[in-house]
Structure 1
Amino acid sequence: MKSLYNKLLSFINTIRGKIAFYPTLFSIIGFNFAMLMLYLEDKGISAFIIEHVPELVINNPDTAKTLLSFLTGGIISIMVFSFSMVMVLLNQASSNFSPRVLPGLISNRNHQYVLGIYLATILYNTFTLVGINPQEDSKYQLPGFSVLLGIIFTVICFGAFLYFIHSISQAIQVNNILDNIYKKAKNRLEHLLEKEEETPPEFPDTSNWKSYYSTETGYFQKIAVSNLIAICKEHQIKIKILPIQGIFVLKKVPIIKVSQEIDSELVKRILSNFNFARGEFIEDNYALAFKQITEIGVKAMSPGINDPGTAINSIDYLTELFALRLQKNDKTVISSEEKEPLIAITTANFKEVLYQVMSSYRTYCKNDLTCIQKLFIMFKYLLLQEPHLKEYHSAILAEAELLFQDTKRTIENQTDINRIESLYKSLPQPKTN
């Protein structure tokens, strides 16, 4: 039952990132509310409202039908316009920044809420319109209160549309995109740091362990840790997870190593706790934020965009993320309540993440003195921070040396070279003791 719950929770977290999730949910609510109002109209709610507040209720069938038809058509128009603006936003973000930022923009809940309000109101007005009896009947009571609610919901739609225009104009600004990416990665890193043990237990050597292969293809997002711990305890085994979280895993490649040979049913049970997806989400994989921010900064330096300011902003955000990453261990070992190491998770180590980021900046920004200076300032700041492992500072100095060598080969002006050399030599050296 617990395994089923975790799988259901993982599935819900995945579909919540889809642009159609909340609009669909709101549409169902709008339809059900329309059915509820039709039921209440049969019970005489409009007659009660007319008796006490007659000014609020429309009691003419032709007027009600015309008004609802007009309002529904208006909502459809602004909904089409809103969807068109979303497409323009996604196209512009993909062209100017990076296609990798699209999942974050698509999963913006506020925009989904607005589209959901549109759809819910359209469905409510449509079914309320269907419930109006066009025939003259002295015993027939027009659903005036339902029509009133339709008018109120339409006014709410107009307000949501104004908010949507404001929000979408803010969402396309590169500073807001960088800030959203940074905040998601920061929250994820802080969550991992809270759960991380100060000194993770030693995990046994896995070189002679049996490997088992993936049965799915997709981005490896997350695992159901509690279920895997229960399996390890039940069968007295230890598991090493081979792919790095967020990496694209192909079918029939090694995905786990187990301390002893297990049957196919147990393999299937273990792999059922792995969540694969076709998209990438920073909420599941903080390393993706380094990639996205780097791509935005590098693309800003392309001849077609030529925006060094955005590249410098991206370095500022990377500096803060790297400073937070310095506090995390490169090894992730999950233990039981008795402190016995059961699961080893392969993670992107600090040196590799830093190298991948810097290789892009060294390639595309080595001609721009302002970006080079900003990178050396980043190195200096990181070297002043207390690392979880001393090797982190050695990796930073190695990247600083590579950047200095590339800069000397690229920049010809001696004054610029002297300035860069001064920054390089001012970097604090790690303590030997």
Structure 2
Amino acid sequence: MKRIIGRLKLVAQFIYTSIGFYPTLLSLLFFGIAVLMIYFETRGISKSLEDELPFFIISHGETANMILSSIATGIFSLIAFGFTMVMLVLNQASANFSPRVIPGLITSKSNQKVLGLFLGTLIYTLVVMVNVRSEHYDTDLPGLAVFLAMCFTILCLAFFVYFIHSISTAIQIGSILEDTYKLTLDKLRRELAQDEGKELQAIFKTGSWQLLDSSRSGYLQKIDRNAVIELCREQDVVLEFLQPLGHFVIKGLPFARVSGQLKDEEAFCNELDTQLSFYQEELADVNYLYGFKQITESAVKALSPSINDPGTAIKAIDYLTDLLIVRMPLTDEKIFHDKEHVLRLRLDEVSYQDLLSLCLGPIRVYGREDPVILMRLLNLVKNLFLAAKSYPNRQSSITKEAQLIVADADDFVKNEGDRQKINQMLDSLNDTCGLDQTLPKLQA
């Protein structure tokens, strides 16, 4: 039963993140409205309202057919145009920014709802159209249902204007970066709320461990944390994943280990497998690391000769600055206890040092000949040093990245004026942050 529930959770995750989620729901809703209206028409609702609302009730068959046909044709054109616009946006985002931002654009709920409204209106119109002049009615014509089709069409036209505005905004790199930043920030805050902040226990270095092989190959993206902790409590073991979530695991090779005596290893592995989710999409609201990667790759793409947009790279660096500061208090060792405060689970986490290298390394390499980018990176380092006064364990990692930035600046910035500006920035950084290890200035 747990295996079935686990599979259903995975299917639900796939459906929810697909572009057809809200269109399908709204289409079913409009189909239900159409069936309900046809039922009311058989009860004579149009005839009872004809005297009170004569302007709203369509009573001429040819007029009704013409209206419904025009609506169906027009809505079909809107649907075709809408899906074409979405595909163009995804193609342009993949070419100009980073393919990793595509899942975030696909899961845009506002655009899905607009497309769902178009599909639902078309389905409603078709259902009403085939029931005009049906022999099952006591009345001659479903006039109120036709009027509702007109209302839905007017609503579609209003939302079409919104859709054009939304899709034109969504393709702007500033909007993509801001959305990714907000999702990553929200995920980081949730991780901070769940972080126990406890030091790594000796069992992970001295305990007796049994390796567990992966039952499949793929990207392990998500685990049902509470269910896994409960499973470990039932088996009275401690479970540790050997790779951070989001990494690729190979079938038949170790991906986790347990400390303790398993009552039934096969049953434990089978039940654990039901609590693991493997899929390809890299969503920032599932794993904050993806948000860092998407912002970094957008900055690198902006620095490429084909794009040549340093302004976008600067904006990405600013977002990374805030996210890296928020990440500081999060422990690199993520351990979790059960309800009885017994250690049960450890998730391997990307260390702060590795995260800095992941984000700053590519931007530094692609922007090392641009003094503006180097100055912005040094400003990022300055802000990190100021924030790290409350977290001294982060200062050595920041110092290492700062030294790499200075080394690249010394090698690739040739203009004396630019070198003087960078040296002035280094003087300010050394004086303001009170570093234990002074950053060297560029050679004159």
What range is the shorter-chain TM-score in?
over 0.9
1:389 Cα deviation (Å)?
A: 4.8
Q: Distance in 2 between matches of 1:149 and 1:184?
A: 38
Q: Distance in 2 between matches of 1:53 and 1:418?
A: 80
Gaps of 5+ in 1: none
Cα distance 1:2–1:429, how it changes in 2: closer, same or farther (>3 A)? farther
Which residue of structure 2 aligns with residue 204 of structure 1? 203
Q: Distance in 2 between matches of 1:6 and 1:226?
A: 13
Which residue of structure 2 aligns with residue 252 of structure 1? 252
Farther-moved stretch of structure 1 (253-262 vs 177-186): 253-262
User: What does 1:33-432 correspond to in 2, within 5 Å?
Assistant: 33-133=33-133, 139-200=138-199, 202=201, 204-205=203-204, 208-260=208-260, 262=262, 263-386=265-388, 389-425=391-427, 426-427=429-430, 428-430=433-435
User: How far does the alpha carbon of each residue in 1:356-380 deviate from its partner, in whole angstroms, 9 at most, with x for none?
Assistant: 1122012100000000000000000
- Which amino acid letter does the alignment assign opposite residue 199 of structure 1? K
Contact 2:47–2:139 (8 Å) recurs in 1: no
1:11 Cα deviation (Å)?
A: 3.7
Q: Say which SS state the counterpart of residue 377 (structure 2) adopts.
A: helix
- Which amino acid letter does the alignment assign opposite residue 398 of structure 2? I
User: How far does the alpha carbon of each residue in 1:114-144 deviate from its partner, in whole angstroms, 9 at most, with x for none?
Assistant: 0000110100000100111278x99543111
Q: Distance in 2 between matches of 1:239 and 1:34?
A: 53
- Which amino acid letter does the alignment assign opposite residue 211 of structure 1? L
Cα distance 1:390–1:11, how it changes in 2: closer, same or farther (>3 A)? farther
Gaps of 5+ in 2: 438-444
Q: Distance in 2 between matches of 1:200 and 1:268?
A: 30
Contact 2:336–2:343 (8 Å) recurs in 1: yes
Q: Say which SS state the counterpart of residue 382 (structure 1) adopts.
A: helix
1:217 Cα deviation (Å)?
A: 2.9
Structure 1 runs of 4+ aligned residues shifted over 3 Å read 1-11, 137-140, 386-389, 429-432
User: How far does the alpha carbon of each residue in 1:172-231 deviate from its partner, in whole angstroms, 9 at most, with x for none?
Assistant: 111111100000000000111112124346262267411112223332221111211211
Contact 1:201–1:341 (8 Å) recurs in 2: no
Q: Distance in 2 between matches of 1:249 and 1:69?
A: 54
Cα distance 1:389–1:10, how it changes in 2: closer, same or farther (>3 A)? farther
Q: Distance in 1 between matches of 2:5 and 2:52?
A: 49
- Which amino acid letter does the alignment assign opposite residue 317 of structure 1? Y
Cα distance 1:23–1:246, how it changes in 2: closer, same or farther (>3 A)? same
Which residue of structure 1 aligns with residue 442 of structure 2? none
Q: Distance in 1 between matches of 2:202 and 2:26?
A: 48
Contact 1:326–1:387 (8 Å) recurs in 2: no
Q: Say which SS state the counterpart of residue 341 (structure 2) adopts.
A: coil
Cα distance 1:113–1:244, how it changes in 2: closer, same or farther (>3 A)? same
Cα distance 1:423–1:332, how it changes in 2: closer, same or farther (>3 A)? same
Cα distance 1:342–1:233, how it changes in 2: closer, same or farther (>3 A)? same
- Which amino acid letter does the alignment assign opposite residue 402 of structure 2? A
1:15 Cα deviation (Å)?
A: 1.9
Q: Say which SS state the counterpart of residue 384 (structure 1) adopts.
A: helix
- Which amino acid letter does the alignment assign opposite residue 311 of structure 2? G
Cα distance 1:415–1:68, how it changes in 2: closer, same or farther (>3 A)? same
User: How far does the alpha carbon of each residue in 1:17-58 deviate from its partner, in whole angstroms, 9 at most, with x for none?
Assistant: 110111111111121221111111112111222142222100
Q: Say which SS state the counterpart of residue 305 (structure 1) adopts.
A: coil
- Which amino acid letter does the alignment assign opposite residue 84 of structure 1? T
Cα distance 1:84–1:109, how it changes in 2: closer, same or farther (>3 A)? same
1:340 Cα deviation (Å)?
A: 1.4
Aligned residues: 431
Farther-moved stretch of structure 1 (368-377 vs 386-395): 386-395
Q: CA RMSD in A?
A: 2.1
- Which amino acid letter does the alignment assign opposite residue 336 of structure 2? I
Q: Distance in 2 between matches of 1:204 and 1:179?
A: 42
